[in-house]
Amino acid sequence: MGIEYRIPTDADWPAVVRADGRAFGEVPTDEQIAERRSTVDLDRFRIAVDGTQIVGVAGSFAFDVTLPGGATAPAAGLTWVGVNATHRRRGIVTELMRLVHQDADERGEPIAMLFASEGGIYDRFGYGIASTMRFVEIDRTTAGFRPGLPVDRDAVRFVEGDDARDHLAAIWERHRRSRAGEISRDAAWHDMVHQLRERPASGSSATFHLAHRDGYAAYRIRDKWTGRPANTLELVEFVPVTAQAHLDLWHTILGVDLVVTVASRNLPSDEALPMLLTDVRPFATTVSKDGFWSNVLDPAVAFGARTYGTADRLVVEVEGVRWAVESDGDEASCRRVRARPDLVTDRPSLGALLFGGVRPSDLARGRRLEGRTDEALRRADAFFVVGPAPHCATWF
């Protein structure tokens, strides 16, 4: 009997979660199975079934993603992609990815996004690295702010329970439109995340919430005493909407008592805290790695929706198809043409170009893109790279 591919039903749900758990080395509890259900639209998922056992899963979430300049576009957030160890090398992932991409196309979603569990898998499916993520550790005992910074010491307060959930949801809707790559979160997502953060996790405390009128921060404390306090503050999420909120929230975080190290695995590559400090070295980047990956399913819609750094017209050839991307400084468009290309690249690199997280000249040095001339590359750098570095703070 061959592998059957289909949309899962509600009756399949517990087995779907367990199949995903097997692929990622987890054994979900009944409580976890129940918690995850509210955020999942099963019509967006596909399963591979061998006999009576689910042996592969892939699906997507429906998001709006912010593009350079602040416009948003529908996106499919691919997730739960996994196959049982007993069924590898049979083309199951390839077929599941095809089906999920087909579903996104039918829903009119021009962009697909994902976080990669392994970096060598998704290039062949058209995904390119669209952002860089920074893991940091800050020595709180030596990190000091430059004198004279306009810190508002009354701007930050602790919030709990429903007040925390509501404040975070309202601020997130403002924040996610300010940086390319950030995505929408619906009410079910906010509810699930808040519920998970209300309890301890992996040896750390439940989450503390700091609220600012223009931002928030969420952190856990990992307790450690070595004859003296040596706690680690694990910064779960840092969401400033304004520069003032950025300063006020960091000032509060670096003032938490009994903490030696502030650690985060979710900061954008252009985090500005080091420039606020008298000494940059207490702020150490421990890992710089790929963030979210992007696959442009409909270039005309995706590139026509974003903002560009200059008024220009560049023709980009991808897999034999040529696209003229044009902006007059205000309005932008993207359409198929037969004109001579300025840039020739592959599909994964098109995803990087969309979000402006890498300069075309860097792609050229990496042999992922070819410019017709050096001048074309210079123009492309100025054209495609604009605004803050792309980042997606929502892991899905």
Summarize pLDDT for 197-232 with one digit per residue, the tens: 999 999 999 999 999 999 999 999 999 998 899 999
In the prediction, which pLDDT does 1 show?
A: 66
CA distance 291 to 301: 23
Residues lower than pLDDT 70 in the chain: 1
**Cα dist from 44 to 8, 77, 105, 327, whole Å:** 9, 10, 12, 34
Q: Name the phi and psi angles at 160, rounded to 5.
A: -135, 165
CA distance 239 to 162: 18
For the beta carbon of residue 53, count every other beta carbon within 10 angstroms.
12
Domain architecture of the chain: domains with CATH: 4-109 (3.40.630.30), 133-290 (3.40.630.30), 297-384 (3.30.1050.10)
Write out the DSSP string of 165-219. Answer: HHHHHHHHHHHTTSSTT-B---HHHHHHHHHHHTS-BTTBPPPEEEEETTEEEEE
CA distance 41 to 79: 12
Q: Walk across the sheet containing 332-337 and list its strands.
A: 332-337, 321-327, 312-318, 343-345, 369-371
In the prediction, which pLDDT does 76 show?
A: 98
Summarize pLDDT for 11-62 with one digit per residue, the tens: 999 999 999 999 999 999 999 999 999 999 999 999 999 999 999 999 999 9
Q: What angle do CA 259, 262, 263 make, to 5 degrees?
A: 140
In the prediction, which pLDDT does 355 show?
A: 98
Which region, left, alpha or beta, applies to residue 3 given φ > 0 means left and ψ of -120 to 50 means alpha?
Answer: beta
